[in-house]
């Protein structure tokens, strides 16, 4: 019971900071957007936001939002992330287990209308979740390291991504 009370106090104390972060990035201009379609199936819409509305590699902060158009289990999301990291040559033994275990523990099963946003800054990144437009945006799990941030964003933003047209849509006109 004591742990629950302490947890609730910590959550309520951090609520203003979380609201300020969400208000900040949700008002940034959209740098670009794109839809992932796989085998004629619409999977998700994605959107990149920066304070300036322009994408510049390794310039922070930025927010990458993925709005799901179909149901995808957290296991499938984690497996797809591992596959992308492997294809990019970013999945090494030192980080593989820890990173994949961490995201599988915090990511929900995605359903149509859900949105997961990754807010990246100079210190790393944080995931946020919104069940649908009528629900509040809530933080998911821990603040991740800069190494995780770079590997996660590389799935969409690396010139070597498996989805170059999606990348071009996200980074906007150069």
- Sorted by where each begins, the domain ranges of the chain are 28-171
pLDDT at 126: 97
Mean pLDDT of the chain: 87
pLDDT in tens, 150-165: 999 999 999 999 999 9
d(C-alpha 155, C-alpha 8), whole Å: 35
Tell me how many helices (H) and strands (E) the chain has. 5, 6
d(C-alpha 139, C-alpha 128), whole Å: 4
The pair of structure tokens assigned to 167 is 């990348």
pLDDT at 22: 60
Residue 76 predicted with pLDDT over 60: yes
pLDDT in tens, 138-153: 999 999 999 999 999 9
Residue recorded with tokens 């969409």: 156
CATH level 3 topology of 28-171:
Chalcone isomerase (3.50.70)
Those residues with Cβ within 8 angstroms of residue 117's Cβ, 6 or more apart along the chain or in another chain: 25, 63, 64, 65, 66, 127, 128, 129, 130, 137
Confidence of residue 12 (pLDDT cuts 50, 70, 90): very low
């Amino acid at each position: 019971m004591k742990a629950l009370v302490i947890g609730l106090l910590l959550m309520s104390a951090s609520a203003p900071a979380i609201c300020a972060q969400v208000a900040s990035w949700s008002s940034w201009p959209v740098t670009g957007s794109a839809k992932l379609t796989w085998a004629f199936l619409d999977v998700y819409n994605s959107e990149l936001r920066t304070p300036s509305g322009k994408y510049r590699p390794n310039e922070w902060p930025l927010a990458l939002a993925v709005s799901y158009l179909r149901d995808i289990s957290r296991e499938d999301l984690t497996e797809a992330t591992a596959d992308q990291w492997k294809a990019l040559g970013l999945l090494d033994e030192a980080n593989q287990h820890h990173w994949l275990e961490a995201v599988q523990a915090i990511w929900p099963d995605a359903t149509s209308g859900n949105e997961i946003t990754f807010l990246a800054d100079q210190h790393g990144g944080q995931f946020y979740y919104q069940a649908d437009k009528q629900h509040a945006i809530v933080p998911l799990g821990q603040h991740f390291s800069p190494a995780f941030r770079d590997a996660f964003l590389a799935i969409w933003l690396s010139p070597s991504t498996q989805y170059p047209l999606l990348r071009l849509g996200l980074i906007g006109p150069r």
